[in-house]
């Protein structure tokens, strides 16, 4: 099945593969998706829609095992602050449902930011624009297709010793 994101990659002549998985509506987490497609959670990037203080919406793509640092996103976007978009606004604004959000092929081309961790891998996985289907592609190709800015976007993990 071709999604808008896959069609965009085709138009840009970007190589990719797909992996499908059985959707668990009770657990749409990226770590669950990673387990189902047999990839480390840090290579499966989740895409979040956020709202900046001036009302602009932006995408933030971060590793599946990480938490978005809204202050770092705001800094990267040149804003005072940022917040996660309301779940009820995600589908009307992007055309995608929770668990199937991707930067590529969204209803509107919002600015996109991706965590610098993607540069650590040969391939990453992102949603293909629907639940149950992931795209596997090279980080540089994702950056190009998503027209994404690379920045430090995640919270530092606190370890107890």
pTM: 0.94
CATH 2.60.40.10 fits 4-147, yes or no: no
With CA atoms as reference, report the closest residue to 104 among 151, 137, 56, 67.
137
In order along the chain (161 residues), what is the average pLDDT of each group of 10 residues? 93 97 92 95 96 97 96 97 96 94 94 97 97 97 98 79 54
pLDDT confidence of residue 64: 94
How many CA atoms within 13 Å lie on the side-chain side of 2? 7
């Amino acid at each position: 099945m071709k999604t808008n994101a896959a069609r965009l990659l085709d138009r840009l002549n970007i190589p990719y593969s797909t992996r499908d998985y059985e959707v668990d509506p009770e657990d749409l987490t990226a770590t669950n998706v990673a387990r189902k497609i047999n990839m480390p959670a840090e290579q499966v990037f989740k895409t979040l829609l956020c709202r900046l203080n001036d009302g602009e919406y932006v995408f933030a793509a971060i590793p599946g095992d990480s938490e978005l640092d809204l202050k770092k996103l705001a800094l990267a976007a040149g804003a005072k602050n940022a917040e996660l978009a309301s779940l009820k606004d995600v589908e009307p604004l992007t055309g995608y449902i929770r668990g199937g959000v991707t930067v590529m092929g969204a209803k509107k081309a919002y600015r996109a930011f991706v965590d610098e961790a993607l540069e650590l891998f040969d391939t990453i996985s992102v949603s293909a624009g629907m639940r149950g289907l992931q795209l596997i592609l090279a980080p540089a190709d994702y950056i190009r297709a998503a027209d994404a800015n690379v920045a430090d976007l995640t919270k530092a993990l606190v370890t107890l010793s």
